[in-house]
Amino acid sequence: MTMKFGKISLLLLSFTVFCYAVIAVPETCPAANVGKCGDPDDWEGEFFPGIYKIKYEGPSSKNPLSFKWYNAEEEILGKKMKDWFRFSVAFWHTFRGTGGDPFGAPTKHWPWEDGTNSLSMAKRRMRANFEFINKLGVDFWCFHDRDIAPDAPTLEETNANLDEVAALAQELQTKGKKSVLWGTAQLFMHPRYMHGAATSSELEVYAYAAAQVKKAMEVTHYLGGENYVFWGGREGYQSLLNTDMERELNHLARFFEAAVAHKKKIGFNGKHSLEYQLAGSLYDWDAATTANFLRKYGLIGEFKLNIECNHATLSGHSCHHELETARINGLLGNIDANTGDPQVGWDTDQFLVDIQEATMIMLSVIRNDGIAPGGFNFDAKLRRESTDVEDLFIAHIVGMDTMARGLRNAAKLVEDGSLAELVRKRYQSFDTEIGAQIEAGKADFEFLEKKTKEWGEPKVASAKQELAEMIFQSAM
């Protein structure tokens, strides 16, 4: 009897263990089941089965799903790596990018997609987003309103969709201890914005854009966003023959003033940032032009700049130049860590993998003592030919490792001090009594003319550019 009871107990125990094992196995969405991964809104399966949390394994690691240079908790120049960068995933490229281009159909067919832009599909993408950032090990994400929730026939319905997805996002944020780096309104894709949004010649379009930004800002605030970014990809003109540029710029300024007023009204403490454009016919051409716009309209204290490296090169500057321009004007806010194809004059949004460029970027960030409450957003997308789910991870890993190498190199240059000393020596003639008078605005032309007659022909020293480049290269 005792033996029989023991066998029954063992059988029951085995069955219980089996049941728990079955329950513990997460539902997955394998690539073979495109469009069949959980129709209900509350499907919570695993979107990236077989991919575990990405860990730091060091430069010698051959594991493509590991960090070689980015070690989140490692302290460099008094800050943890994660605090220097505040990395963020861009929802629009990572989860809405299709691989399509002007010459070909989409190439990305993620297993969780069902081919629709329904509310149910939006929620599924949001769950995939949080699994991704959790496994990647970043703390932030960024979004456009229309990327995370579908447009509807009326603004009321569209706002209701956005509220529903935002509620899920907040729940997932709380669970994963994540946050929004910045949110924004998509004011460039819909045909209504073909003449611009805040600079549209149509009053009703201007009003619609205002209503859309109002809601997007409120959702960003609801999600605890630390910044709100404005990118006006349609704010410009095709021809000045039919354009009143002054009136459009005035309208744009009034729009930003109203945005600042609403931000204060709802108690949103996040920072506003402007991201300048990528074409000559658009009003904010580069960091300097945008800074001038802000000064002209008295908005300089209300906004910072969101510098995108690819936009910098399209405006004829290096990313380092634009960061320095923003920094010395007190306007460095966020950085979109991407790059372009030097053979293609367009916004290709590639992941930044140039270690020299990353090092120069981090020199600016170190001089700025970081960019919080801003951060580094990967406004970058997979190449058209990269179609595996794991490619999403690999692309972000190489981007994060590149920036980490840039930080390590920049820290070497700072700690060595040779480059800073070379620059100091180049300007040492101003480290004199007369130099101090000039820099204080106390040396008039008559005084300088008198000194020139005393000194005679100036002696001009070498700029030591090659030495500067040698010192820079030594840190690579």
Catalytic residues: 144
User: C-alpha dihedral over 192, 303, 76, 403, to 10 degrees?
Assistant: 30
CA distance 72 to 273: 26
Three-class secondary structure of residue 130 per DSSP: helix
CA distance 182 to 194: 25
**Could you tell me which residues come within 8 angstroms of residue 270 by beta carbon, excluding any fewer than 6 positions away?**
182, 220, 221, 225, 226, 227, 228, 263, 373
Helix extents (H) in 42-144: 81-85, 91-96, 119-136
Peptide bond into 30 cis (omega under 30): no
User: C-alpha dihedral over 208, 209, 214, 216, to 10 degrees?
Assistant: 120
Provide the angle, in degrees to the nearest 10, between the axes of the packed helices 203-222 and 155-176: 20
The DSSP annotation for 402-413 comes to HHHHHHHHHHHH
Pairing status of strand 376-378 against strand 88-90: parallel
CA distance 286 to 293: 11
